[in-house]
Chains A and B, each alone.
Chain A
Amino acid sequence: QQQVKQSPQSLIVQKGGISIINCAYENTAFDYFPWYQQFPGKGPALLIAIRPDVSEKKEGRFTISFNKSAKQFSLHIMDSQPGDSATYFCAASTGGYSTLTFGKGTMLLVSP
């Protein structure tokens, strides 16, 4: 049973455009929502994360928007660059001793 649904599976954006990746969850006990970035042949790395007490978090060109009532959160990449081309994973956890549950990933390609 997939607890975190991520879309789209792949995305092509022109340089300078906005990339948007969406995730939805069912478990209302989730209280931590990170995004990981993975380049080919490498392990994922934490990009940005949010907790449900805020609706938005911004770090540079990367923004997480969080909608608690809709049980959805999204990653926005402003002014997308070719170097942003990677696979992005959303995830969620209930904190404490719980483990992260990952979405299936979105392969982003930013065309020059």
Chain B
Amino acid sequence: DGGITQSPKYLFRKEGQNVTLSCEQNLNHDAMYWYRQDPGQGLRLIYYSQIVNDFQKGDIAEGYSVSREKKESFPLTVTSAQKNPTAFYLCASTSSKGANVLTFGAGSRLTVL
């Protein structure tokens, strides 16, 4: 079945550590996105990529980094510079250059101890 796979589903890290969240899609979608979800805050865009080897900052990119070396993969690194990293992270993709129909993964919950 086609879809988006995010891993790990749950992740704990200590303050000061970088952590990388994986996102893989087999939908042959061009564009991929990372959102952060906090209670009562909705979905906030971190980074997005519309083509391999290119990506743009979203609304809350500070403290995060991404890469897009393959069409299928869009990993997100939460760096130690992110002041409040505990959150639910969602990866999404879409087949069009516009973001009209997003397919989301099941999410990764990061907790900083």
- Which residues of A are in contact with B by a Cβ distance under 8 Å? 6, 9, 32, 34, 36, 41-46, 49, 89, 93, 95-100, 102-105
Q: Which residues of A have CB within 8 Å of B97?
A: 96-97
A93 adjacent to B100 (CB under 8 Å)? yes
Contact of A43 among B48, B50, B90 (CB under 8 A): B90
**Complex Cα spacing A93 to B48, Å:** 15
CB distance from A103 to the nearest CB of B (A): 6
CB distance from B30 to the nearest CB of A (A): 11
Size bin of chain B's contact surface: 20 to 34
B92 adjacent to A95 (CB under 8 Å)? no
CB distance from B37 to the nearest CB of A (A): 8
**Complex Cα spacing A41 to B88, Å:** 9
- CB contacts under 8 Å to A, within B48-70, are 48, 50, 58
CB distance from A49 to the nearest CB of B (A): 8
> What would 16 more interface pairs be, CB under 8 Å, given A43-B106, A45-B104, A49-B101?
A6-B42, A34-B100, A41-B106, A42-B107, A43-B4, A43-B92, A43-B104, A43-B107, A93-B98, A93-B100, A99-B58, A100-B99, A100-B100, A100-B102, A103-B42, A104-B40
A95 adjacent to B100 (CB under 8 Å)? yes
Q: Which residues of A have CB within 8 Å of B101?
A: 34, 46, 49
Say yes or no for B43: interface residue by CB 8 A criterion: yes
Name which residue of chain B comes closest to A44, CB basis. B104
**Complex Cα spacing A32 to B75, Å:** 28
